Amino acid sequence: MSIERIVQRQAGVIGLRQAVQAGMSARTVQRRVASGAWRELLPLVYLVSGHRRTDEVRVRAASLWIGRAPAAVTGLAAAYWHGMLDAAPALVEITVPRTTHRTAPPGVVVRRRDLHAVDVVEHRGLLVADGALAALETAIALPDGSAFLDRALQRHLPFLELYECYTRNLGRRGWKDAGRLVIAAADRADSAAERLLKKLLREAGITGWVIGHRFGPHLIDLAFPEQRLAIELDGWAYHVDVDRFRADRRKGNALTAAGWTLLRFTWHDLVTRPREVIAEILHVLAAAA
């Protein structure tokens, strides 16, 4: 690839190695820097005259400085690269394996951590943390992390990817805060599941159900009190929060002991097999009648 093509694709940024591979000698690069035609942004990384030092330029320069695999842009800089943030942070975070030792130049911070291969993607020419990891790392770093995570889930990634990334990285530093944010997001995902179930019931013409029916110290997600049918929606928080899991188990045991029929559905059930869900509900209602 020509020098001009590289510069065009990389917003004016080029590394010494790229220039040499494109046929330019290291001495020619030095002359261009000396003349002011190229400006050194980071060691062996340059910005060609006529191009502005934008956020994109800073992130590209940091990535070129560290080199490719197995290093990756992470944290807020990765979130910016995925379009989740409008601006890149003052310090561009680069994550390298634990065995790698590099002294970061100004404007770059190096984290030593082994990333799961699935958590790294190539996006717009750079190796970066995938959307889920970038979103979680950014959420725990921002004071309004919960609001940021809500926006990311609405516009950039499904909750399942976020949840899988969270569980894959359990034990990481700061991940306790990530867990609290995931549970809060899961609560909102559960609300969406409840709305979907109500929609399915209305479309099927099924009546007689109550949302949040009181049963002793418990609340049933959706109940048919006359037929003693309880429907519980097992959302993502059910799997993440141990206390909630145990409380749901106790509620289910109490319902069964009191002669109620208990059906449990997940968001996946409601989305992928809505007809079967409605058929199961109708079957229990018919038996109770």
CATH 2.60.40.10 fits 191-288, yes or no: no
Q: What's the pLDDT at 144?
A: 83
Q: What's the pLDDT at 202?
A: 95
* CB proximity list for 58: less than 8 A, separation 6 or greater: 41, 88, 92, 107
Beta bridge partners of 121: 128
- Look up the pTM and report it: 0.69
Domain spans of the chain, in order of start: 1-51, 54-173, 191-288
Element housing 270 (H / E): helix 267-272
Q: What's the pLDDT at 190?
A: 66
Q: What's the pLDDT at 237?
A: 46
Which residue numbers in the chain have pLDDT < 50? 237-239
Residue count (the chain)? 289
Q: What's the pLDDT at 90?
A: 97
Distance between CA 267 and CA 274 in Å, rounded? 10
pLDDT in tens, 134-167: 999 999 999 888 889 888 988 898 888 998 999 9
Q: What's the pLDDT at 159?
A: 85
Angle at 147 between CA 155 and CA 241, to 5 degrees: 95
pLDDT in tens, 71-115: 999 999 999 999 999 999 999 999 999 999 889 999 999 999 999
Angle at 113 between CA 108 and CA 115, to 5 degrees: 105
What is 181-215 written as a DSSP string? HHHHHHHHHHHHHHHHHHHHHHHTT----EEEEEE
Q: What's the pLDDT at 180?
A: 83
Q: What's the pLDDT at 153?
A: 86
Q: What's the pLDDT at 243?
A: 67
197-211 exposure pattern, b = at least 16 Cβ within 10 A, e = fewer: beebbeeeeeeebee
Distance between CA 285 and CA 229 in Å, rounded? 8
Residue 233 phi/psi, 5-degree rounding, is: -100, 115
Q: What's the pLDDT at 12?
A: 97
